[in-house]
């Protein structure tokens, strides 16, 4: 089947490459000529494990092309809208400028009985609005919502072997054909046992934001418990182990630490609150304000821990190594990164901060050019008064504290992700502190 992918940023590039890997003929369309050139050359414009190999393999077979010309998508049977929905500058609401622009650029080029499938995370009601606009231009076409559930660092796996597929389809004569087309697109994962849910469009739009809101709530809950553990003398990791053994709760995502960030979770829960308010249903999701507040509070608490570990030395002028700039490991994404935010807070209080990260230094430099950066852990920690582990990259979890001991001015480590073995670091002579632990 010929498929078009409109928007080739993070979501679109991964989706296009994976659809080609599943055997479809794919044309990716993006307004950014530089991005198109990179993808055409088989290079991913961002760090995502496995994606460069898929781009190279698909390019070699001729099943994927990238262009700035939306007319190249005209004869595709299914068109996936994969553009971003960032938070608006003036409110919590999602900015739908890119979704609307991509959709309207595609309208004049839709073929007979085309299927437009939205994958972007949008406020509920967006799909019905676009469907009404589509029916006025192309009555024989149909619009569905097929939300994405990608995790940065695992996006290829999540597309090729998703844990579920959701089709938000119209309740009219186009319903059956829309389901059949999407089933053909996803024939391989369906054959491998991926669950498929067919819903109405509003439900499909709500699935992604509801899932992200639940995940954010679980993370903020354990971080709230970490605050209590700190004042009560408890250990939040042991607390999480204990409550995680309850099968109704589960242990996953009960890891207390610096909290969540990135380009999805924070802006999605805020957009959810904004849309609920527009629908006069804001009391139903009012708890998300506290979820957001707890999450942001962790960043200032990390600054407090850093001050405390210095044992009376002023933060101003102290040399601090920050290990991690990306918002999570296996990514170079620094959007709303808790690690980078903490580094900037320390810098604002006149600490001498140096930041390192296995993949995100270039992006961090662009976002925070006033900070100092290092290309390796050894360079970052040389002569520092404290080391902060703020992104739980495997290479940071596996650090040998004995080897680093002789490089620092003072062996003090603050574990912002509860990723290190406290006993091992203390046995090596380090002062160890972590969020929610004695």
Distance CA 372, CA 355 (A): 6
Q: Is the pLDDT of residue 438 over 90?
A: no
Using CB atoms within 10 A of its CB, is residue 410 exposed (0-12), middle (13-18) or buried (19+)? middle
Active site residues: 264
Give 89-123 pLDDT, tens digit per residue: 999 999 999 999 999 999 999 998 999 999 999 99
Cα distances from 122 to residues 31, 165, 207, in angstroms, run 20, 17, 11
Q: Is 403 assigned to a binding site? A: no
Q: Is 128 annotated as a binding residue?
A: no
Q: Which CATH superfamily is domain 2-199 in?
A: NAD(P)-binding Rossmann-like Domain (3.40.50.720)
The yes-or-no answer to whether 2-199 and 200-438 have a common fold is: yes
Report the candidate in 263, 338, 236, 353 with the shortest Cα–Cα distance to residue 297. Answer: 338
Q: Are 70 and 105 in contact (CB under 8 A)?
A: yes
Q: Is 85 annotated as a binding residue?
A: yes
- Cα torsion through 38, 42, 47, 53, rounded to 10: 180
Whole-number Cα distances in Å, 49 to 64, 154, 196 = 19, 7, 26
For residues 380-404, average pLDDT: 98
| Contact criterion met (CB below 8 Å) for 346 and 303 | yes
Q: How much is the pTM? A: 0.94
Query: Structural domain boundaries of the chain?
Result: 2-199, 200-438
Tell me: pLDDT of 16 over 90: yes
- Radius of gyration of the chain measured on its C-alpha atoms: 24
pLDDT in tens, 75-87: 999 999 999 999 9
Closest CA to 143 of 121, 110, 165: 110
What stretches of 62-154 show up as alpha helix (H) in DSSP? Answer: 97-106, 126-137
Q: Does the structure show a pLDDT above 90 at 173?
A: no
- Evaluate if residue 204 carries a pLDDT over 90: yes
3-class SS of residue 143: strand
Distance separating alpha carbons of residues 336 and 263, to the nearest angstrom? 7
Whether residue 149 is annotated as binding a ligand: the answer is: yes
**Binding site annotation covers 263?**
no
Q: Is 259 annotated as a binding residue?
A: no
The full length of the chain comes to 438
Cβ–Cβ under 8 Å, residues 236 and 85: no
Residue 269: its pLDDT value, please?
A: 96
Question: Which tens digit of pLDDT belongs to each residue from 41-95?
Answer: 999 999 999 999 999 999 999 999 999 999 999 999 999 999 999 999 999 999 9
Q: Count other C-beta atoms under 10 Å from residue 378's C-beta.
A: 12
Distance from chain centroid for Cα 206? 18
Is 253 within any annotated ligand binding site? yes
Mean pLDDT of the chain: 96
Q: Residue 218, class by beta-carbon neighbours within 10 Å (0-12 exposed, 13-18 middle, 19+ buried)?
A: middle
Q: What are phi and psi of 253, to 5 degrees?
A: 65, 25
Please give the backbone phi and psi of residue 313, each rounded to the nearest 5 degrees, phi first: -70, 140
Mean pLDDT of 11-25: 97
How far apart CA 48 and CA 38 sit, in angstroms, is: 14
pLDDT in tens, 252-282: 999 999 999 999 999 999 999 999 999 999 9
- 187 vs 44: CA distance, rounded Å: 26
Token pair of 37 as six digits: 């050139």
Q: At what angle do helices 126-137 and 97-106 cross, to 10 degrees?
A: 20
Instruction: Please compute the mean of the pLDDT values over residues 276-296 and round it to a whole number.
Output: 96
pLDDT in tens, 134-164: 999 999 999 999 999 999 999 999 999 999 9
The tokens describing 79, both together, are 């068109």
379 has binding-site annotation: no
Contact 360, 325 (CB under 8 A): yes
Given this structure, which CATH class describes domain 200-438?
Answer: alpha beta
Query: Residue 172 pLDDT > 90, yes or no?
Result: no
Start-to-end CA span in the chain (Å): 58
Say how far apart CA 288 and CA 269 lie, in whole Å: 7
């Amino acid at each position: 089947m010929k498929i078009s992918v409109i928007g080739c940023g993070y979501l679109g590039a991964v989706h296009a490459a994976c659809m080609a890997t599943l055997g479809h003929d794919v044309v990716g369309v993006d307004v950014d000529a530089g991005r198109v050139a990179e993808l055409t050359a088989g290079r991913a414009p961002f760090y995502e494990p496995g994606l460069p190999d898929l781009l190279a393999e698909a390019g070699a077979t001729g099943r994927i092309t990238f262009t700035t010309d939306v007319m190249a998508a005209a004869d595709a049977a299914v068109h996936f809208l994969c553009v971003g929905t960032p938070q608006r500058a003036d409110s919590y609401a999602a900015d739908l400028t890119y979704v609307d622009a991509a959709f309207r650029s595609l309208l004049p080029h839709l073929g007979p009985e085309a299927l437009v499938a939205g994958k972007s995370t949008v406020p509920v009601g967006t799909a019905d609005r676009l469907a009404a606009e589509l029916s006025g231009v192309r009555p024989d076409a149909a619009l569905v919502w097929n939300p994405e559930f990608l995790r940065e660092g695992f996006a290829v796996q999540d597309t090729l072997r998703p844990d579920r597929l959701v089709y938000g389809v119209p309740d009219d004569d186009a319903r059956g054909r829309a389901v059949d087309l999407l089933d053909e697109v996803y024939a391989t994962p369906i054959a491998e046992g991926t669950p498929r849910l067919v819903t109405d469009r509003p439900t499909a739009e709500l699935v992604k934001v509801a899932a992200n809101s639940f995940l954010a709530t679980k993370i903020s809950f354990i971080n709230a418990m970490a605050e209590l553990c700190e004042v009560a003398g408890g250990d939040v990791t042991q607390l999480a182990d204990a409550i995680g053994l309850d099968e109704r709760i589960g242990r996953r995502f009960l890891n207390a630490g610096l909290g969540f960030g990135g380009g999805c979770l924070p802006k999605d829960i805020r957009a959810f609150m904004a849309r609920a308010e527009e629908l006069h249903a804001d009391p139903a999701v009012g708890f998300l304000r506290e979820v957001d507040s707890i999450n942001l509070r962790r960043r200032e608490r990390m600054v407090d821990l850093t001050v405390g570990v210095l044992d009376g030395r002023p933060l101003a002028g102290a040399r601090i190594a920050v290990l991690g700039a990306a918002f999570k490991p296996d990514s170079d994404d620094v959007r709303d990164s808790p690690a980078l935010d903490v580094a900037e807070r320390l810098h604002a209080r006149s600490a001498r901060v140096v930041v390192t990260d296995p993949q995100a230094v270039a992006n961090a430099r662009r976002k925070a050019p006033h900070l100092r950066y290092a290309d390796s852990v050894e360079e970052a920690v040389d002569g520092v008064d404290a080391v902060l582990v703020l992104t739980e990259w495997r290479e940071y979890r596996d650090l040998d504290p004995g080897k680093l001991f002789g490089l620092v001015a003072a062996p003090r480590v603050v574990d912002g992700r509860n990723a290190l073995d406290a006993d091992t670091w203390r046995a090596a002579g380090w002062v160890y502190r972590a969020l929610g632990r004695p």
